[in-house]
Chains A and B, each alone.
Chain A
Amino acid sequence: MTLKQYFKDIFTGVKSLATGMRVTGGYFLRHHKEKITEQYPDNRDKLVLAERFRGEVVMTHDDNNEHACTGCTACELACPNGTIKIITKFDMTPEGKKKKALDTFIYHLELCTMCNLCVEACPTSAITMAPTFEHSVFDRSQLIKKLNKPGSKIREGVE
Chain B
Amino acid sequence: MIEALAALCLFLVFVGTIPTLGSLGQFLLVGWHGIRNHYAHCVDFTPRVAFILPAWNEGAVIGTTIDELMRLDYPAGAWRIYIVDDASTDETPAVMREKMAQYPGSVFHLRRDAGGQGKSHTLNHGLATVLADDWAEAVMIMDADVLFEPLTLRRMTRHLADPAVGAVTAYVKEGSYPGNLITRFIGFEYITGQAAARRAQNVLGALACMAGGAQIHTRTNIEALGGKIDTQSLAEDTFTTFNTQLGGRQTLFDGNAVVWAEEPDSLGMFWKQRLRWARGNLQISRAFTDLWFRPSRHPKLGGFAFGLLWFSIVLMPLCLILSAVGAIGLYFTHPQWAWLGFSGLWGVNLAVYLFMTLFALAIDPQMARRTWREAFLFPGLISLLIMSLFILPPQTGAQHWLAASPVATLFILSWVGLSIPAAWLVYRMERLGAPNWLRDVLLVLVGYGPLMSAVSFAAIVAEWRHADTRWDKTVKTGKARMAR
Q: Please determine whether chains A and B interact with each other in the same assembly.
A: no
Which B residues fall within an 8 A CB radius of A? none
Which A residues fall within an 8 A CB radius of B? none
